[in-house]
Amino acid sequence: MSVVQNKQGLDAPLAFLGTIIHHLSPKQIEIIPKGLLIVGVNGKIAVVEKDVADDKVDSLLSQHGLSRHSPTFTVLERGEFLIPGFIDTHNHAPQWTQRGLGRGKLIMEWLNKTTFPHEAKFQDPAYARKTYASCVDGFLKQGVTTAAYYGSLHGEATKILAEICVQKGQRALVGKCNMNREAPDYYVDKSAAESIAVTEDFIAYTRQLDPTQELVTPILTPRFAVACDHDVLTGLGKLAEKNPDLPIQTHFNETLQEMEITKKLYPEFDSEADLYEHFGLLNDRSILAHCIYMDDYDMRRLKELDCGVAHCPISNTTSGVFGVAPVREYLNQDIKVGLGTDSGGGFSSSIIDCMRQAFAVSKARQLDHLQDKPLHFTEMLYLATLGGARVCSLDHKIGNFLVGKEFDALEIHTVGDDAGIITLVEDEDTTEDILEKFVMSGDDRNVAKVFVKGRSVKKSK
């Protein structure tokens, strides 16, 4: 494989008539009851018209070579609507099949006993291909149109993950995981030099695979400072400098145990902010997972450096110690923040589950921070869409339905057989009610169709 498939674009434009919901900013949701959205064959949004009159529909369709009888024209009925695709800002692809295991353990024990033995299996390319295919299909099925993936430490397996994202049409940031210490002999980078060399090779391969970063972008992925010595962080910092288009991801102030070990291993730094900044890894391209134990200094540096926060409420509340990230404060200060499944530290691979647990965490936060209002359900949707796009530095391309952006979207059905036992709509429900019900009680069975750059990527059951 060398270049992205379907580079020529779609066979025909797409058009949707009905309810369209997206965010214009963290505080501004737009619910368009009778909207017309047209996607060009280049996968970009060509038209978004509000409250569109019937004759206007006809003329706009016609201008794009479509009619009401075109197979790619969709009328969204009551209980059906479009939202932007979900963005999973923190996801360990090799942990896909270990979800749910080892919940009682603290982080270092969980890594050594549950996770590392599992990730080590990606040494085998056949296993990697099978498992990553299941993983990418599984996330697409659930509406994750963009994922920021940590791979395993293996170069080859991580190339396979990038290939599969391209093949299956998922937008992704994919990183070879750097970790050359504090890990067992059977699962550790052999040296700092090797760790960096494999990373460079992976970057080169991925640039060839998808030269314009149409779908897949390599991402620098130091697992965390505990697992990376000075040489690895220095090497990655140099790569970050040399490749100013590359995003960077790591774990940040996740648990007290991890923070304590980091202090011991890097006594010269007062904070993880100083540490990662020193190595050139803290900037507007950084995606920092968790960010739970934050003092004023940490908050200020994240804001000043324009870092993004991957809020992972499911793993935060069920692995290690119950952790409550200050999400209201991130929103108040307009620090970039989105949601991460943290699959498999998070037991669920669903961003919808994450939205709900983010709400629960925001209520827990209020217990000792009375001024921090819990999240509104529209804010949960913001975090899952536009918030995540900003965290991944992709908001110029995706995250909402502005004309010119690429069409990454979910067609949500809250009625009909597929909706099953999940979201139940009553006659008197307003569109806001239906959206709230979907956010609070929906699952992947409500995600009827999934589009990435206009391509339909959800396999039927």
Q: Kindly list the residues in this chain that would bind a second copy in the complex (CB under 8 A).
A: 96-101, 103-104, 118, 134, 137-138, 141-142, 317-318, 321-322, 347-349, 356-357, 359-360, 363-364, 366-367, 374, 376-377, 417, 420-421, 423-426, 433, 436-441, 443-444, 461
Alpha carbons 149 and 159: distance in angstroms, whole number: 12
Least Å from the CB of residue 140 to a second copy: 10
Rounded to an integer, what is the distance from CA 401 to the centroid of its chain?
A: 18
Least Å from the CB of residue 252 to a second copy: 21
Least Å from the CB of residue 297 to a second copy: 24
Q: Which is nearer to a second copy, 276 or 347 (CB)?
A: 347
Contact between 389 and 341 (Cβ < 8 Å): no
Q: Which is nearer to a second copy, 5 or 430 (CB)?
A: 430
Alpha carbons 245 and 224: distance in angstroms, whole number: 21
Report residue 312 as tokens: 């992972």
Q: Which is nearer to a second copy, 281 or 358 (CB)?
A: 358
Alpha carbons 5 and 2: distance in angstroms, whole number: 9
Scored b (16 or more CB within 10 A) or e, 213-249 reads: bbbbbbbbbbbbbbbbbeebbbbbbebbeebeebbbb
Q: Which is nearer to a second copy, 38 or 324 (CB)?
A: 324
Contact between 310 and 340 (Cβ < 8 Å): yes
Least Å from the CB of residue 421 to a second copy: 4
Q: Which is nearer to a second copy, 15 or 314 (CB)?
A: 314
**DSSP label of 418:** G
Q: Which is nearer to a second copy, 40 or 138 (CB)?
A: 138
Report residue 323 as tokens: 């952790």
Alpha carbons 319 and 313: distance in angstroms, whole number: 10
Alpha carbons 361 and 341: distance in angstroms, whole number: 14
Least Å from the CB of residue 374 to a second copy: 7
Least Å from the CB of residue 411 to a second copy: 18
Scored b (16 or more CB within 10 A) or e, 286-314 reads: bbbbbbbbbeeebbebbeeebbbbbbbbb
Alpha carbons 94 and 245: distance in angstroms, whole number: 25
Q: Which is nearer to a second copy, 104 or 404 (CB)?
A: 104
Report residue 182 as tokens: 């504090």
**DSSP label of 341:** -
Q: Which is nearer to a second copy, 100 or 125 (CB)?
A: 100
Least Å from the CB of residue 362 to a second copy: 9
Least Å from the CB of residue 24 to a second copy: 22
Least Å from the CB of residue 441 to a second copy: 4
Q: Which is nearer to a second copy, 220 or 312 (CB)?
A: 312
Cis-peptide, bond into residue 454, ω within 30° of zero = no
Least Å from the CB of residue 438 to a second copy: 8
Contact between 217 and 246 (Cβ < 8 Å): yes
Alpha carbons 331 and 247: distance in angstroms, whole number: 22
Least Å from the CB of residue 146 to a second copy: 18
Q: Which is nearer to a second copy, 199 or 318 (CB)?
A: 318
DSSP secondary structure letters along 17-37: EEEEEEEEETTEEEEEEEEEE
Q: Which is nearer to a second copy, 33 or 420 (CB)?
A: 420
Scored b (16 or more CB within 10 A) or e, 419-450 reads: beebbeeeeebeeeebbbbbbeebbbbbbbbb
Least Å from the CB of residue 375 to a second copy: 9
Amino acid letter, residue 38: I
Q: Which is nearer to a second copy, 199 or 316 (CB)?
A: 316
